[in-house]
Structure 1
Amino acid sequence: MAHPLDDPGKSFRGLFANRGEAEVMRGMTQHLTTGERVAWYRHRRGLSQEVLAGLVGRTADWLGKAENNRIELDRLSVIRALAHALDVSMGDLIGEPTLVEWSKESGRGTLPALREALMDYRLLTPLIGAPADGEPPALDALRSDVGEVWDAYQGSRYGFAARQLPLLLADALLAVRAHSGTEREESNSLLALTYQGAAMVLGKLGENELAWIAADRGLAAAQQSGNNVITGSLFRSVTHCLLSTGRFETAVQLVNDAAGFLEPGLNDATPAYLSVYGTLFLTGSMAAARAEDRATTQAFLQEASTMAARLGSDANHMWTAFGPTNVAIHRVATAGELGDMQVAAELGPTVDTSALPVERRVRHNLEVARALSAWNRTDDALAMVLQAERIAPEQVRHHYMSRELVLGWVRGTRGRPTQSVADLADRLRVV
């Protein structure tokens, strides 16, 4: 199947001739591959292939193949370098959709309502008034509501979580302002976890700036709680936010600094403490891999493995899904980020994730699919994506990896793609 950019004499704008200019200006986030977005932004910047390739230490031939989907841009370290050279965000090149499909669970109040809640000035200071009137919720009820949102996140039910979070934030803030002493500390813990839930959901939906706001406020509330388990949990969310914006080295430094803060508590650590501490290193291993720092990647994975051994088995303390299996998942994921696709393709299918939360299982499937696709095992890769979609359609639709894989299969097929690929592309809204 010939691609319009294969013909060097064909103008780039001709590729979009049948699409409105306003639609092109929005980045065409759901209908272009990462390589095609690179080409579009390169033309907007007035750069030749030779110049952009030189800025990222590659050849013009390599860039031409990337822009024409002859090679996959499947490593975030490479995408970050291109984004930096083009003076755009990684999200501009990845093109994550933020439209949450309406459903019975989500209703018709999703991301805009959560955005409005996070940007309400009354939430910033008690000097101007409380965010809501009325009696504060009972802490037991608030704790249950927080758990419900986190369970929805781990179940990849983002629409439901986005719908619940604005109300939950208002309740948690009301509780903080109404209570004192130990009850206020507990309220701050629950407020911190609510902000963290918001940050995690927003990150999954591509709203990275809002996720940063939520994580920052959550960390401030965690410090007011006096609970180092909660504080450690929020460190993980801030690290995720740094990852999503391409600040990989800063994320690695944060993990080291946070570990130094938490390390004194390891001697008599509870299972929750071990889980938060170990998960922090798993997040750090992804940051190190994307920074192409192999030594730190392996060191972080080893530290997480040590904590998993101390824990003794897989668990889900503080919604971490931490344990030996999650460490194995991250060995596969970091191999992919480092470009070791053969390692990921061989190791990935051997990891049994069936006992883990949906979010972890689906993310692993996508990592394995990416590795299999890189080795031209397209049928096996498609099977992994379809399996993931059956259990978590929202997560698969919103993850850049699944959309990039499917777009690559569509673009790379001579003639018409198979019906199963075409149907999947239609469900993901990428064609």
Structure 2
Amino acid sequence: MTETLTIGERVAWYRRRRGIPQEVLAGLVGRTADWLSKVENGRIELDRLSVIKALAAALDVQLGDLLVEPSLIDWSTDGRGGAVPKLREALTDYKHMSPLLASESTDPPPDLEILRAEVGSAWSAYQDARYARATRLIPEILSDAQRAVRAYDGEEQLKAKALLAMAYQGAAMVLTKIGEADLAWMAADRGLAAAQESGDLVVTGSLFRSVSHCLLSSGRLTAARDLVADSAGYLESGLADASPTYLSIYGTLFLVGAVTAARLDDRATVSAFLAEADQAAQRLGHDANHMWTAFGPTNVAIHRISTAMELGDVQVAADQGPRVDSSTLPLERRVRHTLEVARAYSAQNRMDEALALVLDAEELAPEQVRYHFIPRHLVTTWVRQQRGKPSHQLAGVAQRLRIVG
């Protein structure tokens, strides 16, 4: 199995390996054999993750087996090689995590304000779609944060635990982006434990979002939706006099939940979750980036486009997507929205417009485009649909995404 196969071809490959007739697999996902035949032959483009997930479940494979997202980060100027193994080592080294096993240190404890700035630098790298840089920074930040938790006590220790939680969350977010789902889950779980020990409700809410996001990314959609609902209920008590940061954490949680519900084809919950997020955004009153949430009215608007695509409402996404001005948001959010609009255009057979958007996104955030499933799926499909030689632009992006040699 290689990255040059379309999703439909991977479905066909796994179906044959399982010995499942087209009629049977189609029936398992509520479709016709003719539909499945067209999917496998590339005449119908699979552009909804909920449908791809249903096929993966019927074939008894992981969602990633059909998407084939890259799982190893490229060597780059920022990465310098070995970044992911170093982060894996940091997450699995129990000498760092357990006071019982940690060696005594004569070094002075990390300054908490410097540590806070370091955590912020990793999150900024993530929001700038510089995933190699973030992956390289986080191991040392985790080590310093763990050392701070051991060195301090009282209120200072609680602050250190909150910073450790946010470092773990940063790790989880970037690992999800580069396809390291198992490591991302480990980081999010550790982060939630540290957040709860810190006693900081805002940090705990932020880690609820991270765990929900990891569940979403790994295809555990019902668990993710339920966690959003449960954790939002837990946070409701603080809404009466909520700070802007609290509102941002609370609202962003519902954005994750809305995407999850969309992939479950649960329109009622999508609508309810977006309404809750919008209410929080209206209370906030403007776009902001408290606790690296990029939350505000614009982020709610771009999630309306994302959920429309997940629900198959292509016309809505294609009409409304270009009208959303995402220029106030961090780069990662802006590029993600651009890719969603490109997906909508492609579904309407507007390949030239979609390709132009993918190229724009690649120029702004090459790492994000390299690792995200949307551009990889779109470009693979476009290359396969070409009857003659692909255009110079299409051939170029296909080569850069390692879809062709």
Gaps of 5+ in 2: none
Please list, as runs of the form range in 1=range in 2, the aligned pairs for 1:270-419 lying within 5 A after superposition. Answer: 270-419=243-392
**Distance (whole Å) between structure 2 residues aligned to residue 280 and residue 376 of structure 1:** 34
Equivalenced residues, count: 404
Query: Paired residue for 2:49?
Result: 76
- 1:45-83 deviation per Cα after TM superposition (whole angstroms, max 9, x unaligned): 122212211221211111111111111111111111111
Please list, as runs of the form range in 1=range in 2, the aligned pairs for 1:1-12 lying within 5 A after superposition. Answer: none
**Distance (whole Å) between structure 1 residues aligned to residue 34 and residue 384 of structure 2:** 19
- 1:207-260 deviation per Cα after TM superposition (whole angstroms, max 9, x unaligned): 111110000000000001111110000011111111111111211111110011
Q: Do residues 216 (structure 1) and 178 (structure 2) align?
A: no
SS of residue in 2 equivalent to 1:354: coil
Does structure 1 retain, via aligned residues, the 8 Å contact 2:84–2:135?
Answer: yes
User: How far has the Cα of 1:130 moved from its partner?
Assistant: 4.6
Q: 1:198 is matched with which residue: 157, 171, 176?
A: 171
Query: Which has the higher mean CA deviation after the structures are superposed, 135-144 or 420-429?
Result: 135-144
The letter for the 1-side match of 2:70 is P
User: How far has the Cα of 1:110 moved from its partner?
Assistant: 1.1
Query: Which has the higher mean CA deviation after the structures are superposed, 45-54 or 380-389?
Result: 45-54
User: How far has the Cα of 1:135 moved from its partner?
Assistant: 2.9
Q: Percent same amino acid at aligned positions?
A: 64
SS of residue in 1 equivalent to 2:100: helix
The letter for the 1-side match of 2:72 is L
Q: 1:117 is matched with which residue: 83, 90, 99?
A: 90
**Distance (whole Å) between structure 1 residues aligned to residue 266 and residue 80 of structure 2:** 44
The letter for the 2-side match of 1:107 is R
**Distance (whole Å) between structure 2 residues aligned to residue 236 and residue 188 of structure 1:** 18
Specify whether residues 346 and 228 from structure 1 end up closer, same or farther in structure 2 by C-alpha distance, changes over 3 A only.
same
Specify whether residues 55 and 131 from structure 1 end up closer, same or farther in structure 2 by C-alpha distance, changes over 3 A only.
farther
Query: Paired residue for 2:80?
Result: 107
Does structure 2 retain, via aligned residues, the 8 Å contact 1:146–1:190?
Answer: yes
User: How far has the Cα of 1:341 moved from its partner?
Assistant: 0.5
**Distance (whole Å) between structure 2 residues aligned to residue 355 and residue 378 of structure 1:** 27
**Distance (whole Å) between structure 2 residues aligned to residue 133 and residue 84 of structure 1:** 53
Does structure 2 retain, via aligned residues, the 8 Å contact 1:196–1:215?
Answer: yes
Gaps of 5+ in 1: 1-23
**Distance (whole Å) between structure 1 residues aligned to residue 41 and residue 105 of structure 2:** 53
Q: Which runs of 4+ in 1 moved over 4 A?
A: 130-133
- 1:274-320 deviation per Cα after TM superposition (whole angstroms, max 9, x unaligned): 00000000111001111100011011101111100100100000000
TM-score, structure 1 normalization: 0.92
User: How far has the Cα of 1:94 moved from its partner?
Assistant: 0.7
TM-score, structure 2 normalization: 0.98
User: How far has the Cα of 1:100 moved from its partner?
Assistant: 1.5
The letter for the 2-side match of 1:395 is Q
The letter for the 2-side match of 1:49 is Q
User: How far has the Cα of 1:414 moved from its partner?
Assistant: 1.1
Does structure 1 retain, via aligned residues, the 8 Å contact 2:215–2:223?
Answer: yes
Query: Paired residue for 1:238?
Result: 211
Supply the RMSD in Å over aligned alpha carbons.
1.2
Q: Do residues 182 (structure 1) and 135 (structure 2) align?
A: no
The letter for the 1-side match of 2:297 is P
Specify whether residues 428 and 131 from structure 1 end up closer, same or farther in structure 2 by C-alpha distance, changes over 3 A only.
farther
User: How far has the Cα of 1:133 moved from its partner?
Assistant: 6.9
**Distance (whole Å) between structure 2 residues aligned to residue 133 and residue 218 of structure 1:** 27
**Distance (whole Å) between structure 1 residues aligned to residue 108 and residue 332 of structure 2:** 35
Does structure 2 retain, via aligned residues, the 8 Å contact 1:410–1:417?
Answer: yes
Q: 1:50 is matched with which residue: 15, 19, 23?
A: 23
**Distance (whole Å) between structure 1 residues aligned to residue 99 and residue 349 of structure 2:** 58
Specify whether residues 323 and 413 from structure 1 end up closer, same or farther in structure 2 by C-alpha distance, changes over 3 A only.
same
The letter for the 2-side match of 1:368 is V
Specify whether residues 249 and 255 from structure 1 end up closer, same or farther in structure 2 by C-alpha distance, changes over 3 A only.
same
Query: Paired residue for 1:63?
Result: 36
The letter for the 2-side match of 1:232 is G
User: How far has the Cα of 1:117 moved from its partner?
Assistant: 1.4
